[in-house]
Amino acid sequence: MRAAPAGPVDYLLRTSTVVDSEFELVYLAVTRLAQGAYPHARAALDAAHDAWTRAVLDEVGDPVVARAVVLISDGLYAHAALTSSPPATGAGTGGGPTSDAGTEEPLAFRAPRPGEDVDDLLTLVREVVAMRNARTTDGV
Amino acid sequence: MRAAPAGPVDYLLRTSTVVDSEFELVYLAVTRLAQGAYPHARAALDAAHDAWTRAVLDEVGDPVVARAVVLISDGLYAHAALTSSPPATGAGTGGGPTSDAGTEEPLAFRAPRPGEDVDDLLTLVREVVAMRNARTTDGV
């Protein structure tokens, strides 16, 4: 992650929308164990999150922004994990819309969907980092 | 949520760290169903997320910021859900730290923990909204 050409934040947010890799299978398994009563699984998850937070913090230089970035990554992952399994039971024929059907809703009113690109989020993070840096410089 | 005195963003982020309510039990159950092959559970979750995103968007006035806020909320919830169950199997005596033990690690290097207050995140969101609003005003 630290070796990623575009930096840790770019790497973390882009990989958080992918749940088909071997890593994600392991991560999901550890998450499920941690949801049970396995303190070591939970400790392993905490250690992984701390390492990610530290790498992000080194890039953005602000603990609150780093926390927000890691939470956004967790949110992206939660959404991606939710819809990673294929809709195996055929097209929905009953009442109510199936979420994977059309995407005709007005874009501005839609919640995040898995697989969506994260360029706008990365731009926002860069702006926030610049904003916080400018304030720090003002203070000197 | 729209009727919350401090606004939708405040309400969403603060309630995302609480997983002991009856609502959260229902939400978790629907999430588990959606992880399986239940398109209606998935559609219900998508509808809930869309409603939250819409309420947040009405407050912050910027789709990317609204998306980031909802993802932060999802991240907070994922963390809270992970450690909501009590560590039933007694204190960890084996190797490796148990995550619920001391909180002696250096604060700046820690990933988010459930139950932590979200005041710093709310302050950050307010700053980002002000930044984006200022830019819009500049453009006029």
Give me the residue spans of the domains in chain B: 11-85+116-139
Does the distance separating the beta carbons of A98 and B43 come in below 8 Å? yes
Q: Which residues of B touch A53 (CB under 8 A)?
A: 109-112
Distance from CA of B81 to the nearest CA of A (A): 8
Instruction: Determine the pLDDT at residue B68.
Output: 94
Instruction: Determine the pLDDT at residue A42.
Output: 83
Tell me how crowded residue B127 is: count the other CB atoms within 10 A of its CB: 15
B80 vs A98, residue with greater confidence: B80
Instruction: Determine the pLDDT at residue A66.
Output: 94
Q: Which residues of A touch B83 (CB under 8 A)?
A: 34, 42
A44 vs B82, residue with greater confidence: A44
pLDDT (tens place) for every residue of chain B, 140 residues total: 787 888 899 988 988 887 777 777 788 788 878 777 788 888 888 888 889 999 999 999 999 999 999 999 988 888 777 765 443 343 433 444 444 444 444 434 455 555 567 899 999 999 999 998 887 776 55
Cα distances from B4 to residues A139, B19, B56, in angstroms, run 35, 19, 12
Does the distance separating the beta carbons of B35 and A82 come in below 8 Å? yes
- Which residue, B87, B118, B5, B1, is CA-closest to B50? B1
Task: Determine the Cα–Cα distance for residues B47 and B53; give it in Å rounded to an integer.
Answer: 10
Residues ≥6 apart with Cβ < 8 Å to B31: A82, B41, B45
Distance from CA of A96 to the nearest CA of B (A): 7
- Which residue, B53, B7, B36, is CA-closest to A75? B53
Q: Which residues of B touch A36 (CB under 8 A)?
A: 85
Instruction: Determine the pLDDT at residue B112.
Output: 53
Distance from CA of A5 to the nearest CA of B (A): 23
Of A37, A111, A123, the CB nearest to B89: A37
Amino acid at B129: V
A83 vs A87, residue with greater confidence: A83
A138 vs B28, residue with greater confidence: B28
A116 vs B95, residue with greater confidence: A116
Instruction: Find the mean pLDDT for residues A7-24.
Output: 82
Of A65, A71, A124, the CB nearest to B112: A71
Q: Which residues of A touch B16 (CB under 8 A)?
A: none
Distance from CA of A130 to the nearest CA of B (A): 11
Of B36, B88, B105, the CB nearest to A37: B88
A129 vs B4, residue with greater confidence: A129
Closest chain B CA to residue A112: B67
Instruction: Determine the pLDDT at residue A130.
Output: 93
Residues ≥6 apart with Cβ < 8 Å to B3: none
Closest chain A CA to residue B82: A35
Task: Determine the Cα–Cα distance for residues B87 and B91; give it in Å rounded to an integer.
Answer: 8
- Which residue, A50, A81, A51, A70, is CA-closest to A121? A70
Instruction: Determine the pLDDT at residue B69.
Output: 95
Q: Which residues of B touch A128 (CB under 8 A)?
A: 124, 127-128, 131
Proportion of chain A above pLDDT 90, given as a percent: 25
Of B39, B70, B87, the CB nearest to A111: B70
A53 vs A27, residue with greater confidence: A53
A92 vs A29, residue with greater confidence: A29
Instruction: Determine the pLDDT at residue B71.
Output: 93
DSSP codes joined into one string, A50-65 = HHHHHHHHHHH--HHH
Closest chain A CA to residue B110: A50
Distance from CA of B109 to the nearest CA of A (A): 5
Question: What's the residue count for chain B?
Answer: 140
Residues ≥6 apart with Cβ < 8 Å to A92: A98, A101, B39, B40
- Please tell me whether residue B51 adopts helix, strand or coil conformation: helix
| A106: confidence class by pLDDT, cuts 50, 70, 90 | very low
Complex ipTM: 0.72
Q: Report chain A's mean pLDDT, rounded to a whole number.
A: 75
Task: Determine the Cα–Cα distance for residues B17 and B114; give it in Å rounded to an integer.
Answer: 6
Instruction: Find the mean pLDDT for residues A119-132.
Output: 93
